[in-house]
């Protein structure tokens, strides 16, 4: 399968490494492709020129990644996701599934972060991407777990859960099957239409408190009844 990424930070690199190892044709888009950009230090991730030597995944521009992918991941910071989508262009994303992993976390005043007001509470990154891309099936997913857990849920013992939302039932079924097949997820909760992204993104306020108080990001939530 051809898979495109908008973004090449720690989440993009982690997902892309796993999907390329699974045999997919994976490319990642960034703003500008140049030797200096490929060599630049990245927070919690490798410089792309180093990382590229460890994987078959390739680095291109946002527009090329959008054009390439049969399925697209948005793995950019929530406050910049609409800019990345605009750079990719609506046409190459039309008719495709876009899995939105972004969170609108504002770290400008340090820890713990807040959610950007313009992207939360009565709206969300997922909803704003869907509004910008009416011809694309946006599915919010994977944003409530750390990157290593996204691709390896078995690293946490016992049952734990993934959440998704989106307007298109068929797209959500495809993403559910993808998460099971590619990464081994089992319990996946459908939170309804794309307004469910508000709840998924708001969960990060809680997630970061658990991380800060425990010092360990390798955890997840489980809905028990």
Ligand X SMILES: NC(=O)c1ccc[n+]([C@@H]2O[C@H](COP(=O)([O-])OP(=O)(O)OC[C@H]3O[C@@H](n4cnc5c(N)ncnc54)[C@H](OP(=O)(O)O)[C@@H]3O)[C@@H](O)[C@H]2O)c1
User: Which has the closest alpha carbon to 88: 143, 129, 43?
Assistant: 129
Is 175 a binding residue for ligand X by CB under 6 A? The answer is no
Interface with ligand X (CB under 6 A), residue total: 25
Binding test (CB under 6 A) with ligand X, winner from 65, 72, 76, 124: 76
Examine residue 222 and say whether the peptide bond preceding it is cis (omega within 30 degrees of 0): no
> Angle, to 10 degrees, between the axis of helix 125-132 and the axis of helix 81-88?
20
When asked if residue 57 is in the footprint of ligand X (CB under 6 A), the reply is: no
CB of 156 to ligand X, least distance (A): 14
Interacting residues with ligand X between 116 and 155 (CB under 6 A): 143, 146-147
Angle at 75 between CA 192 and CA 64, to 5 degrees: 115
Q: Two tokens at 181?
A: 């097949």
State the Cα–Cα distance between residues 22 and 13, nearest whole angstrom. 14
CB of 176 or CB of 200, closer to ligand X = 200
Interface of this chain with ligand X, residues 10 to 39, rule: CB under 6 A: 10-12, 30-31
In the complex, minimum distance from the CB of residue 149 to ligand X, in angstroms, rounded to a whole number:
8
Shortest distance (Å) from residue 124 CB to ligand X? 12
How far is CA 225 from each of CA 20, 188, 209, rounded to the nearest angstrom? Answer: 37, 15, 24
- State the nearest-atom distance from the C-beta of 22 to ligand X, in Å: 19
Q: Is 220 in the site for ligand X (CB under 6 A)?
A: no
CA distance 32 to 59: 10
Pick 119 or 169: Cβ nearer ligand X: 119
Window contacting ligand X (CB under 6 A); options: 73-81, 112-120, 157-165, 185-193: 73-81
| 102 near ligand X (CB under 6 A) | yes
Q: What element of type H or E holds 94?
A: none
Distance in angstroms (rounded) separating the CA atoms of residues 197 and 141: 8
Query: In the bound complex, what is the minimum distance in angstroms from residue 183's beta carbon to ligand X?
Result: 14
Nearer to ligand X, 30 or 57 (CB): 30
Does 101 engage in binding with ligand X (CB under 6 A)? yes
- Single residue of 65, 105, 164, 194 touching ligand X by CB under 6 A: 105
Q: Give the position of tokens 């090329």.
A: 64
Exposure letters 60-79 (e unless 16+ CB within 10 A, then b)? bbbebbbbbbebbbbbbbbb
Binding site for ligand X (CB under 6 A): 7-12, 30-31, 42-43, 45, 75-78, 80, 83-84, 101-103, 105, 143, 146-147
């Amino acid at each position: 399968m051809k898979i495109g990424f908008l973004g090449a930070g720690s989440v993009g690199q982690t997902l892309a490494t796993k999907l390329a190892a699974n045999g997919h044709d994976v490319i990642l888009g960034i703003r500008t492709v140049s030797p200096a950009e490929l060599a630049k230090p990245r927070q919690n991730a490798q410089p792309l020129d180093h990382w590229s030597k460890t994987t078959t995944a390739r680095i291109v521009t946002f527009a090329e990644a959008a054009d390439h992918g049969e399925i697209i991941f948005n793995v950019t910071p929530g406050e910049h996701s609409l800019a990345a989508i605009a750079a990719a262009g609506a046409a190459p994303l039309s008719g495709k599934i876009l899995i939105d992993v972004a969170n609108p976390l504002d770290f400008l005043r340090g820890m713990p972060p807040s959610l950007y007001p313009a992207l939360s509470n009565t709206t969300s990154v997922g909803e704003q991407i869907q509004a910008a891309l009416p011809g694309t099936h946006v599915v919010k997913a994977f944003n409530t777990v750390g990157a290593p857990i996204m691709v390896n849920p078995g690293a946490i013992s016992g049952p734990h859960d993934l959440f998704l939302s989106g307007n298109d039932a068929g797209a959500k079924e495809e993403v559910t099957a993808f998460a099971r097949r590619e990464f081994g997820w089992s319990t996946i909760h459908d939170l309804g239409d794309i307004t469910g992204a508000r709840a998924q993104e708001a969960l990060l306020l809680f997630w970061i408190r658990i991380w800060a108080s425990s010092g360990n990001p390798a955890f997840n939530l489980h809905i028990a009844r």
